Structure 1
Amino acid sequence: MTDAQTPPIDENHDRANDDATDDMAAQVENWIWYGFQSADEIDALIDASAAPGDGFDVARVKAFAVSTLARKRATEATWPKTTDCDQLDRAFARLHEQGICALHGAGDTQDDGFEAVVDALSEEGVPDDRYHGYCFYVSQDIDHALDDEGLQLAYGHLGRSEATDGEHVAVGQRVCEALRQVGLEVAWNGSARRRIALPQLSWRRRTPG
């Protein structure tokens, strides 16, 4: 192809592609350090997020994912056998047994969390009287935990607007008890209008697989 035939470089497109690639890499880094998805699941999420023609550089993002996962695996080797996230899992398992729908990483916002609770209650095979309360945290809360700011949990009675403060507080007390039983430090003033905090929780969740 001669110079006359060479198509012009679209600098705006290249810049947009670089920006999209950086944004996607940041999202992938979050997924990896959140620790819920396996390497294969992250690879599939990258593919699913790609927009044909004008999206991010898939190859670059996947290479970034591989290097970040390797770095995290090396860091995981220095963690204690049982992490705060392991203890949190045990507490949430106990809460399920006690009729409180406890969800990990329930979306990005509080509204997402409430929707996730509704979805969990609507799943096939879940009896109407299986749960009386809920508890969850979202990705924004994990971000704070990764910044060493602890983790905050939303909770409440499933009646929500119809439930009394006393019913919401009773659920909060159950949640606090389950957390303390597994050894996590809890901070809560007993108000239905205040979320439960785990001020010393260190976010260390091992990548599955």
Structure 2
Amino acid sequence: MLEIVVKTENGERHVRVSAEELAGLVRRVGGDGDRFLVIHRIPDVPDVFAQLWHEAGGGYALEHRDGAADRHFQVMVDGSEAVVEALTGWARQGSAWRSGLVWSLLDTGPTSEVPPLDLDEDERKELERRVREVLVGGYADRAELAELAEEYLVTADRRPVSREQAEVLVDRMWLERVAEQTTWQGETDPERLTRAFAALQEAGITARENFTCCRSCGQSEIGDEGGTDARGFVYFHSQNTDAAASGHGLMLLYGGFDNSSETTAAIGQEVVAALEAADLQTTWDCDPGQAITVTPLEWRKRLVG
């Protein structure tokens, strides 16, 4: 698999695609509502991306950027196969993927300096605390974090953080977290959790990570997530994620779609077994009215973006 995320005009998001899947996404570009795609590596790094624009009957406008504005290049390509070759090479970070195409510097216009945040010390600390909490949770991308940073301190008569200031703050904190995760070795607890959830999903239990904002929303929406053969569900919501990221363990909510306590208890047993098979420890007294807690838990979720 290629360590990339591909986003398309029609709102699709493809994570860790194969070379064949990337080729298919490139070849289909050109129809209404599907004229471009943007690719970034995993983990996402600010201002490092490749993108493609194509309308049926025209050429392919291919771009890549490697940091600052003076590292943003473009080329027009006649056919899709040359684009596939270039983007696959870019994704693999090979040394010769630019060869064979005549790239030119793209003038993106002047860049304006972003003024520093005008916050008192308490406001700045609180803003960074909240952004880092969600960042460490690991499910938000840079755009979502920037929106959080922009809106977090807003009041009826004050908007102290602009979008540009929010992006600067988030990019700094994002890169700090990316640097942190380069020191992590082997499979992390969140990756073990994902492995357990994949096994449960395969076994007919709808399993969702970071699902909705709270228990009330989760309980009302989880039924729409499962297929016709789903026997039950397990999930945790974003408040549970925040708690796990803060070192308090992870609470899992579960149940059967027939609403019986017997099915709920049986689903709970399967969830615990899957977690233990993934080398995660749990606390649960087998009471179908009580949540399952994954603890101890070291929340080191690698960023994607």
TM range (shorter): 0.7 to 0.9
Name the residue aligned to 1:57: 161
Name the residue aligned to 1:103: 208
**1:71 aligned residue (176, 181, 184):** 176
1:196 aligns with 2:304: no
Name the residue aligned to 1:6: none
Query: Which has the larger share of strand?
Result: 2
The residue type paired with residue 112 of structure 1 is C
Q: What displacement does 1:42 show? A: 3.9
Give secondary structure in 2 for the equivalent of 1:152.
strand
> Deviations 1:27-63 (Å, cap 9, x if unpaired)?
5333311111333554477689999x95442222222
Q: 1:90 to 1:144 in 2, by over 3 A?
A: same
**1:130 aligned residue (206, 220, 229):** 229
Give the alignment of 1:150-169 within 5 angstroms. 150-160=249-259, 164-169=260-265
Name the residue aligned to 1:206: 302
Q: Is the 8 A contact 1:101 1:131 kept in 2?
A: yes
Name the residue aligned to 2:133: 30
The residue type paired with residue 207 of structure 1 is L
**1:82 aligned residue (175, 180, 187):** 187
Q: Is the 8 A contact 1:21 1:61 kept in 2?
A: no
Query: Which has the larger share of helix?
Result: 1
Q: What displacement does 1:119 show? A: 3.5
Q: Is the 8 A contact 1:20 1:56 kept in 2?
A: no
Q: What displacement does 1:188 show? A: 1.0
Structure 1: distance between partners of 2:265 and 2:231: 13
Unaligned runs of 5+ in 2: 1-117
Unaligned runs of 5+ in 1: 1-14, 122-127
Give the alignment of 1:139-154 within 5 angstroms. 139-154=238-253
Structure 2: distance between partners of 1:193 and 1:55: 43
Structure 2: distance between partners of 1:198 and 1:155: 13
1:183 aligns with 2:286: no
The residue type paired with residue 243 of structure 2 is H
The residue type paired with residue 132 of structure 1 is R
Greater Rg by CA? 2
Structure 2: distance between partners of 1:25 and 1:114: 31
Number of residue pairs matched by the alignment: 186
Q: Is the 8 A contact 1:21 1:56 kept in 2?
A: no
Where relative contact order (Cα < 8 A, 6+ residues apart) is larger, the structure is 1
The residue type paired with residue 211 of structure 2 is A
Structure 1: distance between partners of 2:272 and 2:169: 39
TM-score calculated relative to the size of structure 1: 0.75
> Deviations 1:78-119 (Å, cap 9, x if unpaired)?
222210000000000011111111111112211122133134
Q: Is the 8 A contact 1:144 1:151 kept in 2?
A: yes
